[in-house]
Amino acid sequence: MKADLLTSVLNELNGTSADIEASGVISTDGLMMASVLPSGMDEDRVGAMSAAMLSLGDRTAQELNRGGLEQVLIKGRQGYVLMTYAGEEAVLTVLAKPNAKLGLIFLDVKRAAESIAEML
């Protein structure tokens, strides 16, 4: 039931922008809770990588006195990976195209993360 609600939020998020290619809600220990990923993309790999990067981002922000971590953004030649907390126990990961309008995506991701946090 909860997975269906999370998937609904992800479908809505993916529908807000043609630049968003995939999204997932992952527990902070790396387990996929819900996802809207393209076929062929490994849920377990996305979950594990998201949890690892968020943990590293958390530690980096603390060690360099940047305050609490808000998000991690990775830019590659094929696009972006954006990770943000969705409550204390979950991470929202979004994959976006290389020419994505990040300002709008940041806003949409923030709203989705807030909705997910309320559900969890």
CATH of the domain at 54: 3.30.450.30
Judge whether 6 and 90 are in contact, CB under 8 Å: no
Q: What is the rounded distance in angstroms from the CA atom of residue 18 to the CA atom of residue 68?
A: 30
pLDDT digit string, tens, across residues 17-35: 899 999 999 998 889 999 9
Percent of the chain with pLDDT over 70: 99
Count the domains in the chain. Answer: 1
